[in-house]
Amino acid sequence: MVNGNLDTWLHPEVVEANSLTLNLLQRLNIALDVASALHYLHNECEIPIIHCDLKPSNILLDNDMIAHVSDFGLARLLSNAISNFSQQQFSSIGIKGSVGYVAPEYGMGGEVATYGDVYSYGILLLEMLTGRRPTDEMFRDGLNLHNYVKMALPRRVVQIVDPILLTGGELENGAAAEEEEDDVDNEIMAEEDNRNIVSWGHGREKIQKCIVSILEIGLACSVESPRERMDMNDVTRELHHIRDAFLGSASTWTDHK
């Protein structure tokens, strides 16, 4: 598609770093697009479809930066026929996914289920906000992306998120500042500066609350126990609520701890 895949936007080459950037609202919208797609596959199709290989490089972005889930090469239909396969048969048909994104139960011969896609989606969310791949070399000796985020929330979130998300540019969705007249005296200008500082302070807090809420969903989706993971219907609903709050049409944030 016109804007390539999500992986190139999250991890641009050095020469592209200045041109390929996603702000928080864009990432939230992409997360919603992918969640909606998975909800459709899992809950709206006559026979549920399991993607089995969800990762940034399989998320394509069109001209309007709308995300589309692609590459169904490993996808499976959740039918009675498949559910009657033995664990050995599941292994033989290659339900592997991609390292770092594949649900841990698949590596132990577990049956293919929608929970597996939910896990991959959770890891995807964490990567989208931290800018770190689950295969980053820092993740070793028992440390993984899930635990890395979990240990930082909520007080140390600014230490783990993609720095781009904490810049003043994230406030572009708020009211635009009025241009100052050349003849405004120094006292009024000082007062205006103080208000701008307070406004940025409130804006930064709003951004952090939004980021924490999204990361908590990522954690809830990527827990080790499959049946404790969120359903994509719930994920979609919560992300809509978070976006409404970020844009100012809601006043509360959901706690997923």
> Using CA atoms, how far apart are residues 36 and 98, in angstroms rounded to an integer?
22
**From the candidates 7, 33, 53, 244, which is the catalytic residue?**
53
19 and 209 Cβ atoms separated by less than 8 Å: no
User: Shortest CA distance to 145 belongs to which of 218, 57, 214?
Assistant: 218
* Cα 153 from chain centroid (whole Å): 15
Q: Is 53 a catalytic residue?
A: yes
What's the one-letter identity of residue 156? Answer: R
Catalytic residues: 53
